[in-house]
């Protein structure tokens, strides 16, 4: 979802990198309907009033959100294993050490695992959009059903409303999931009394949500996969991942869920071309006037929080959460980052 800023900032640096191809790709991205303003996608108070609500999840947690945002920002930095980037050092000051890197070169997706032995936490942090392959996931035009079998809400084709999620987002998640499971399996065997926290920004926040869903439903896990002491989710600039049944699922989970939206972050209103998508509750809104508002847990998308600024949705707010600028590391190496958005055309 961060492609706008990267494309706009790096255009001036790509003249020697097949600029004509770069500009053609830029126009294709801007033409996608879900990247436009989304006034029509906002739920009205009367719409919200008709939605059945079951809120059992805990959240939001402001203090933890302000801490994990640095781990989320670190996912965009180069050479994460060195643990020397500005956000890596900040995370280290909170007691988090780098554990392992997870990369899928074909899908160009990335996540890393950090551990805090004092707080007894294992954190999986997913990177958001930083290249062409990620944008392809963002703008995928379809949805797919997730059949999870029996859940706390007994969702599934034969047991209730079917859960549908964005195809590109679940594809990006699946590109990393097997290795995430493998590494967590080893870690949790050593630290079975640790909490598992899954976080991300933008596309990464979607991957974090879907990863946690797969883990909670024990999909694609070894039979003896060790369970953590508890689970938690923190997403920054999370797009709408799924339909109401998917939102219901998370509202019903007895776990910590915090979905952070900065001011008029455009990603909070996307995708809007795939009707029926809504956020679950537990929104923490960073207000334009400063400070944070814990929004109503009794509605899916509180009309007095981020939705109040839907008509002003913009990219700048998507890229800045408190003192974290998600593309600052990318900006430090503009040539390498610009290459991520260049498509080599056949000669």
pLDDT reported for residue 300 = 80
* Residue length of the chain: 347
Is residue 321 classed as helix, strand or coil in its secondary structure? strand
Cis peptide before 188 (omega within 30 of 0): no
Could you state, in chain order, the average pLDDT of each consecutive group of 10 residues for the chain (347 residues)?
41 38 36 36 48 70 97 94 96 98 93 98 91 58 64 46 84 95 97 97 95 92 94 95 87 92 92 70 93 85 90 92 90 65 48
pLDDT reported for residue 130 = 65
pLDDT reported for residue 237 = 94
Strand partners, 257: 233
pTM: 0.81
Fold classification of 56-340 (topology level): Rossmann fold (3.40.50)
pLDDT reported for residue 143 = 72
pLDDT reported for residue 135 = 58
Residue 308, class by beta-carbon neighbours within 10 Å (0-12 exposed, 13-18 middle, 19+ buried)? Answer: middle
Distances in Å between the alpha carbon of 129 and those of 79, 85, 205, 282, 326? 17, 19, 10, 24, 10
pLDDT reported for residue 222 = 92
Distance in Å from the first CA to the final CA of the chain: 30
| Distance from the Cα of residue 107 to its chain's centroid | 16
């Amino acid at each position: 979802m961060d492609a706008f800023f990267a494309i706009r900032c790096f255009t001036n640096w790509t003249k020697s990198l097949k600029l004509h191809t770069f500009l053609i790709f830029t126009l294709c991205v801007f033409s996608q309907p879900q990247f436009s303003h989304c006034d029509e996608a906002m739920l009205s108070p009367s719409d919200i009033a008709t939605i059945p609500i079951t809120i059992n999840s805990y959240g939001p947690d402001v203090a933890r959100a302000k801490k994990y945002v640095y781990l989320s920002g670190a996912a965009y930095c180069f050479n994460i294993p060195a643990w020397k980037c500005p956000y890596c050092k900040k995370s280290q000051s909170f007691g988090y050490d780098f554990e392992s890197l997870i990369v899928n070169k074909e899908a160009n997706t990335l996540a890393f695992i950090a551990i805090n032995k004092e707080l007894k936490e294992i954190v999986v942090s997913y990177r958001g959009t930083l290249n062409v392959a990620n944008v392809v996931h963002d703008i995928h035009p379809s949805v797919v059903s997730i059949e999870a079998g029996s859940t706390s809400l007994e969702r599934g084709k034969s047991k209730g409303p079917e859960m549908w999620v964005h195809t590109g987002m679940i594809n990006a998640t699946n590109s990393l999931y097997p290795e995430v499971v493998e590494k967590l399996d080893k870690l949790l065997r050593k630290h079975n009394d640790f909490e598992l926290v899954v976080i991300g920004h933008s596309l990464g926040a979607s991957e974090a949500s879907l990863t946690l869903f797969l883990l909670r439903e024990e999909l694609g896990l070894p039979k003896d996969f060790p369970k953590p002491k508890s689970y938690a989710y923190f997403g920054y600039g999370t797009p709408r991942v799924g339909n109401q049944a998917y939102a219901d699922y998370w509202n019903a989970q007895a776990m910590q869920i915090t979905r952070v939206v900065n001011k008029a972050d455009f990603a909070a209103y996307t995708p809007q071309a795939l009707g029926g998508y809504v956020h679950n509750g537990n929104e923490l809104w960073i207000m334009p006037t400063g400070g944070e508002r814990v929004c109503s847990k009794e509605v899916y998308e509180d009309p007095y929080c981020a939705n109040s600024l839907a008509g002003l949705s913009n990219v700048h707010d998507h890229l800045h959460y408190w003192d974290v600028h998600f593309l600052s590391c990318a900006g430090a190496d503009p040539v390498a980052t610009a290459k991520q958005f260049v498509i080599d055309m056949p000669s």
